[in-house]
């Protein structure tokens, strides 16, 4: 088994993006801009948002942080998004999910101008993906396809099994892997919490992507020998031996699965760095399209 080094592949792509951002700035007199909206203080969300803003700075993308309290009224949040929609310096708008209880996530996503929807979560973006039009592809699925291709794995003709049907990962990834074109042309099976005998499906996968949000979703005896396994899970497990009091584990039982697989993404250091990289790429794409 070989580990896929997401950090290394992400660093290569980020260097390309930084060059693109510098050229954009040279040409237009301003850096590409990303608004990063965080409501509340969910610890995982705070750490994601911090990582995204740091990555922007390193790539020469200007970030516009917007911090709101957990009890922000829906109208205030919508008004913030409306303000960013018309701000000429802002090319992309990211609203970190999940939103605190009581806020209507889908209504907030719909308020983002599709030309600034660098997360690719707007129904217009997802619809364009489904019908094969150019669009902002959601960052985690885009990052997974890029990881596969840059690791020498072309999904074309392979059986890809995706576990998890979220709007953010599973559903758009199934669309990407099955579409005609680069990184697509796979035969895709989409499994979820209502799939009986999950192992019967995962054992058939040439490429197995696990985005279920639950540790140990895929374990011993559930992977075909030689399969490529992409672990999208980011779960915090209490661990008193760690300085932060927790460690990160994926959705895959790596002790059981890694010896059977050919290529595996680790957690952390696999998919995570690619998600942020694709956000930077989408922001540069938005800036170029708007300039
Ligand atoms: N929450 C988990 N993943 C994501 C993501 O890619 N974008 C946003 N905005 N929120 C998330």
Per-residue b/e over 35-73, b at no fewer than 16 CB within 10 Å? bbbbbbebeebeebbeebbebbeebbbbbbebebeeebe
Report the distance separating Cα 57 and Cα 266, nearest Å: 26
Distance between Cα 26 and ligand 1 center (Å): 30
Distance between Cα 159 and ligand 1 center (Å): 27
**pLDDT exceeding 90 applies to what percent of the chain?**
100
pLDDT score at 3: 98
Is the Cβ atom of 277 under 6 angstroms away from ligand 1? no
State the pLDDT confidence band at 241, using cuts at 50, 70 and 90: very high
Give CATH 3.40.50.720 domain extents, the chain.
139-273
Pocket test for ligand 1, best of 46, 96, 105, 112 (most atoms within 8 A of CB): 96
CA-closest candidate to residue 81, choices 49, 52, 103, 113 = 113
Is the Cβ atom of 148 under 6 angstroms away from ligand 1? no
Is 212 within 8 Å of 190 (Cβ atoms)? no
Is the Cβ atom of 96 under 6 angstroms away from ligand 1? yes
- Per DSSP, helices labelled H in the chain are 6-28, 43-59, 74-85, 105-111, 123-131, 139-150, 170-178, 198-202, 254-257, 271-290
State the pLDDT confidence band at 113, using cuts at 50, 70 and 90: very high
pTM of the shown model? 0.97
Residues 7-39 have pLDDT tens digits of: 999 999 999 999 999 999 999 999 999 999 999
pLDDT score at 264: 98
Is 20 within 8 Å of 79 (Cβ atoms)? no
In this structure, the residue with its CA closest to atom 9 of ligand 1 is 96
The correct answer on CATH 3.40.50.10860 for the domain covering 29-113 is yes
Q: For ligand 1, what atom is nearest to the CA of residue 139? A: 6
Q: Which two tokens stand for residue 217?
A: 């979703």
**Phi, psi of 193, rounded to the nearest 5 degrees:** -65, -20
In this structure, the residue with its CA closest to atom 4 of ligand 1 is 97
Is the Cβ atom of 95 under 6 angstroms away from ligand 1? yes
**Mean per-residue pLDDT over the chain, rounded:** 98
Mean pLDDT of 75-103: 98
Residues 163-206 have pLDDT tens digits of: 999 999 999 999 999 999 999 999 999 999 999 999 999 999 99
Q: For ligand 1, what atom is nearest to the CA of residue 95? A: 9
Which residues have C-beta within 8 Å of that of residue 41, sequence separation ≥ 6?
A: 70
Q: For ligand 1, what atom is nearest to the CA of residue 279? A: 6
Give CATH 3.40.50.10860 domain extents, the chain.
29-113
Q: List active site positions.
A: 52, 96, 119
CATH superfamily of 139-273: NAD(P)-binding Rossmann-like Domain (3.40.50.720)
Please state the separation of Cα 175 from the chain's center in Å.
Answer: 14
pLDDT score at 117: 99
In this structure, the residue with its CA closest to atom 1 of ligand 1 is 97
State the pLDDT confidence band at 279, using cuts at 50, 70 and 90: very high
Distance between Cα 200 and ligand 1 center (Å): 30
In this structure, the residue with its CA closest to atom 2 of ligand 1 is 97
Mean pLDDT of 122-138: 98
């Amino acid at each position: 088994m070989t580990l896929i080094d997401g950090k290394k592949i992400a660093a290569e792509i980020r260097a390309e993006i930084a060059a693109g951002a510098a050229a954009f700035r040279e040409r237009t007199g301003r850096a590409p801009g990303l608004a990063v909206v965080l409501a509340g203080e969910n610890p995982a969300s705070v750490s994601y948002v911090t990582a995204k803003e740091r990555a922007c700075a390193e790539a020469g993308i200007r970030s516009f942080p917007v911090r709101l309290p957990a009890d922000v009224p829906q109208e205030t949040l919508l008004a913030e998004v409306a303000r960013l929609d018309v701000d000429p310096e802002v090319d992309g708008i990211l609203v970190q999910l999940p939103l605190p209880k009581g806020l209507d996530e889908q209504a907030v996503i719909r308020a983002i101008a599709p030309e600034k929807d660098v997360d690719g979560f707007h129904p217009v973006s997802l619809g364009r993906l489904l019908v094969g039009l150019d669009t902002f592809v959601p960052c985690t699925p885009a990052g997974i396809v890029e990881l596969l291709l840059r690791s020498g794995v072309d999904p074309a003709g392979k059986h890809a099994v995706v576990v998890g049907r979220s709007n953010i990962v599973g559903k758009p990834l199934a669309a990407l892997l099955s579409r005609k074109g680069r990184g697509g042309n796979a035969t895709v099976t989409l499994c979820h919490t209502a799939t009986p005998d999950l192992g019967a499906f995962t054992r058939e996968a040439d490429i197995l992507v696990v985005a279920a949000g639950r540790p140990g979703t895929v374990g011993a005896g559930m992977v075909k020998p030689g399969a490529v396994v992409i672990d999208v899970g980011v779960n915090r497990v209490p661990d008193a031996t760690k300085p932060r009091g927790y460690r990160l584990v994926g959705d895959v039982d790596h002790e059981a699965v890694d010896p059977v697989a050919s290529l595996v993404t680790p957690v952390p250091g696999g998919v995570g760095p690619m998600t942020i990289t694709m956000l930077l790429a989408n922001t540069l794409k938005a800036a170029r399209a708007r300039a």
